[in-house]
Chain A
């Protein structure tokens, strides 16, 4: 009887795992099936061409997405981590901390199109034009709540004994927080940043009113810029078969690039990890 129950529990756990993984695999297989045929070297090296012409690629959108995500990460990750450190270490139990935590949760729930409109009125209107910078700001703000709350939770998981050990060595509290607690939690914090990064990498809505898109090449922060999700959105809604195929290819490239970026960060940050470190 016990073996039976054990077998049933294991079976259920395996089934649940398969159910979680299945949609991901299905999406990826379908993307490869639809998109791989349109992938060629030109896709990565050429800008889009007008309707009717064949060929062309999304080089500008790939570079544009990289720039937008770079700006977004530069804004979202430092602010998010600093906020998380404040919530977990310095402001614990204070009203300010509770207010910040609540705000972060609400911000997390704000529809991304609303974020685009907000940044439009805060950045685009004063500047007078759409820009890569404003798109990066929108993505960065969207990253903050995820980074902030995961940082907080990871810091709270650091055992009390580790903090005491640092304090008992005569290390000032701020130093102990930055050099010991944050370092101990760093693997989890990096995971949080990657999660936020991957989430906004596929965002289209906040870019519509900010980065705007660009059919040509641009790498300037002050000009409208192309982005993969925007390009996919425009191409998928168009009536042309050629564009549909390019949209599938774009979606495939987007997912592969996100996986590559996340894996790269994981690889680079895990190289310093020691034998036996938890």
Chain B
């Protein structure tokens, strides 16, 4: 089951570049929350702060508190524990190129020492079904490399890989921006199904996408969160002039 995320006074830097400033945000459990805003506004940095991937860059720094399901991820947990509970799907599909489809999905469990084959088989099947890829790959699970799939299939493979470790939150950083329209709509259908079981945070440049999949939407601009509300309100009646300018296409 998904858990809620409470972000208080979050600030992040790359070197001297203050990329996130004073973010306060409550992301509800078992819903999809979209983050929109122009390129470079900090929305990707924000999601990378939710699984502590931000700090893998040596010049990056972060302050503030993030509670995920009540756990203070910066004070009370190690990055590896957080990343097992908070899965991530990246902009470009990034399957492990030398691994089979099966091994890609099982990677998170195997690399953490899990080796019961029956259970792994079950989890791989379940994860691939949850990511709507099972029917397309079930005959080649151990024969084909993850890199041999099409771009859209690779992205669903990456979603399956993230789901296999049974996370509570799924972060998606522009998961469909490198895909064609058909693959994109498959990913969106998937998000729709997954949000009953996981808390989903999706960064997107595509405002129709945000409107289609998310109950809540946050608008980021220049490292600050301008507005956070129900998706319906953001797109029909935003309270901030800058949000309105952005969604009506006046800039960005």
Contact = CB atoms under 8 A, between A and B. Distances in A.
A170 B83 contact: yes
The list of the 10 closest CB pairs from A to B, nearest first, reads: A276-B148, A170-B84, A277-B145, A169-B108, A170-B83, A161-B94, A274-B145, A168-B88, A276-B145, A165-B94
Given A169-B83, A170-B84, A276-B147, A164 B107 contact: no
Given A170-B84, A170-B112, A273-B98, 19 more contacts: A159-B94, A164-B90, A167-B53, A168-B83, A169-B83, A169-B84, A169-B107, A170-B81, A171-B80, A171-B107, A179-B111, A275-B140, A276-B148, A276-B149, A277-B97, A277-B98, A277-B145, A278-B97, A278-B147
Contacts of B95: 165
Given A169-B83, A275-B148, A161 B111 contact: no
Nearest to B93: A161
B96 A184 contact: yes
Contacts of A159: 94
A166 interface: yes
A166 B56 contact: no
B158 interface: yes
Contacts of B99: 183, 274
The majority secondary structure among interface residues of chain A is: helix
Contacts of B152: none
Contacts of A167: 53, 56, 83
A184 B97 contact: yes
A248 B111 CA distance: 52
B127 interface: no
B106 to A, nearest CB: 11
Nearest to A187: B98
Contact of B161 (A169, A176, A273, A278): A169
B111 A166 contact: yes
A172 interface: yes
Contacts of B92: 161
A171 B111 contact: yes
B83 A176 contact: no
B51 A274 contact: no
B162 interface: yes
Nearest to A276: B148
Contacts of A191: none
Contacts of B140: 275
Contacts of A164: 53, 56, 90, 94
Contacts of A175: 111
A266 B202 CA distance: 44
A170 B144 contact: no
A274 B100 CA distance: 7
B87 interface: yes
Contact of A162 (B88, B94, B112): B94
A170 B165 contact: yes
Interface residues of B, number: 35
A243 B165 CA distance: 67
Among A168, A176, A180, A275, which residue has the most Cβ atoms of chain B within 10 A? A168
B143 interface: yes
A218 interface: no
A162 B96 contact: yes
A249 B96 CA distance: 47
A98 B33 CA distance: 46
Contacts of B144: 274-276
A186 interface: yes
B160 to A, nearest CB: 12
Interface in A173-200: 175-176, 179-180, 183-184, 186-187
Nearest to A168: B88
Nearest to B56: A167
B97 to A, nearest CB: 5
Interface string B56-95: 1000000000000000000000001111110110101011
27 contacts: A159-B94, A161-B94, A162-B94, A165-B90, A168-B51, A168-B83, A169-B107, A169-B165, A170-B82, A170-B83, A170-B84, A170-B85, A170-B165, A171-B108, A176-B111, A180-B107, A180-B111, A183-B96, A183-B98, A184-B97, A275-B144, A275-B145, A275-B148, A276-B144, A276-B147, A277-B98, A278-B147
B82 to A, nearest CB: 8
Contacts of A172: 80
Interface in B154-210: 158, 161-162, 165
A186 B96 CA distance: 13
Among B56, B84, B96, which residue has the most Cβ atoms of chain A within 10 A? B96
Contact of B112 (A171, A186, A273, A275): A171
A91 to B, nearest CB: 13
